Amino acid sequence: RDIRSGCVFLAVNEADTAVGTVTIRENEILRLFVLPEYQGMGYGKMLLDFAEGKVAQQFDTVIVDASLPAKSLYLKRNYRETAYHQLPTENGDYLCYDVMEKASVHH
């Protein structure tokens, strides 16, 4: 559905290889991923900069669901926690994430 509605964006490197993706739905940044072999090369920052810029064109705040490994990245970018969620999984484990928000910078 998101692909059909045009809110999924793909990052490709200079060799035209897809290296990451981000989904933007209104003022929410969803599913920001970079393939493991391309992590640490700046693609995640590029995708997040792009997504924040798109959101800032129409909205005053940016919202993101942050996994624990990604939380420090968002804190460094001036996001603040607004909620915490724990979702039980089928195997008895939990999926935990923070909802984080920051004021968008209008361009």
pLDDT for 84-106, tens place per residue?
Answer: 999 999 999 998 999 999 998 76
Q: How far is CA 17 from CA 25, 48, 97, in A?
A: 25, 19, 30
Average confidence (pLDDT) over 43-48: 94
Give me the amino acid identity at 83.
A
- Angle subtended at Cα 68 by Cα 44 and Cα 8, rounded to the nearest 5 degrees: 40
Mean pLDDT of 71-83: 93
pTM: predicted TM-score of the whole model, two decimal places = 0.85
What percent of the chain is predicted at pLDDT more than 70? 98
Tell me the torsion sign for CA atoms 3, 49, 14, 39. Answer: negative
